[in-house]
Amino acid sequence: MTIITKIQTQKLNKERFNIYTDSGKGEEYSFSVDADTLVKFNLKKGMSFEPFELEEIILADQIRKAYLSSIVYLSRMMRTKKEIEQYLLKQEFTAETIQTTTIRLENEGYINEEKYSDSYVRTSVNTTLKGPVIIRNELITKGIKNPVIENSLKHYSFEKQVQHAVQLCQKKVSSLNRYSSSQKKLKLEELLRRKGFTSSIITIAIEETEYESEEDEELQALLVHARKANRKYDKLDNWEHNQKMKSALFRKGFSIELIEKALAILQDENEE
């Protein structure tokens, strides 16, 4: 049998109380509770209880503490069940306490993953240029189930996806001047895939982007690569040098006709 010998208000938190008990070996600190648990179990000096009753009191206080901590955490922004679980786990609450807490939060509407998912998609659409694949993956990592995600992604219209994909292409294309038209297309496709857009959106966005170079512009881009390759193969004999140059430039997406023009320009430059 354990007897409560003293109940003392904590100095730093007036809402919590330190409970001192005597189990036959003298008074010692036993546990702490908040005001709600103190009242719930009617704890007072001289009260006696069995070990199993002490466990019940401590568990109830931990659940109360986890609940209040979660409410503070949720006050900053909406959270998923998984985020709450991870937050409480870091604070070293038991699995039983965490489960009880999240069930209560769900029942009271503090955790609503449908609303969270809808809000996350709308915010992503309005503030970023992420594609639906990335948004889906981000929600999965937050513990949202796929059916919920798919329903929320309806807020990301086909037209909006195309608009965002075209914006990304337009931002990128000006930095691709040194590449051939075919290379530009490949790089824009790679960009949109990385950003989480599907093949159908990528095709439309590429078609709506002016990325093809005029021949003079493409020739200048080709000459940049040709001069670099020329330095690399400079010590080869004429025939092998010519073949290596054509092969290297063709792999970069330039047409044979344009490569011939570039090689002729390089030859003129070398003869000067």
Closest CA to 219 of 158, 169, 260: 260
Six-digit token string for 1: 């049998």
Rounded to whole angstroms, the Cα distance separating 256 from 264 reads 12
DSSP string, 70-101: HHHHHHHS---HHHHHHHHHHTT--HHHHHHH
Distance from C-alpha of 64 to C-alpha of 83, rounded to nearest angstrom: 19
pLDDT at residue 213, as a whole number: 57
Q: Give the pLDDT of residue 216.
A: 59
Provide CATH code, domain 113-155. 1.10.10.10
* pLDDT score for 237: 79
* CATH class of domain segment(s) 215-271: mainly alpha
Burial class of 87 by CB neighbour count within 10 A (0 to 12, 13 to 18, 19+): middle
Query: Domain 2-107's class?
Result: mainly alpha
Tokens representing 69?
Answer: 């901590």
0.75 cut: is pTM over it? no
**Structural contact between residues 205 and 169, judged by C-beta atoms closer than 8 angstroms:** yes
For CATH 1.10.10.10, the residue range(s) in the chain are 2-107, 113-155
> pLDDT value at position 264?
79
Q: For the chain, which residues score pLDDT lower than 70? A: 212-216, 268-272
Could you give the C-alpha distances from 253 to 194, 212, 269, in angstroms and in order? 22, 12, 23
pLDDT at position 146, please? 95
Residue type for 181, please? S
**Beta carbons of 139 and 81 less than 8 angstroms apart:** no
pLDDT at 214: 54
CATH number of 158-207: 1.10.10
Q: How far apart are CA 155 and CA 175, in angstroms?
A: 32
Do residues 236 and 244 make contact, with C-beta atoms less than 8 angstroms apart?
Answer: yes
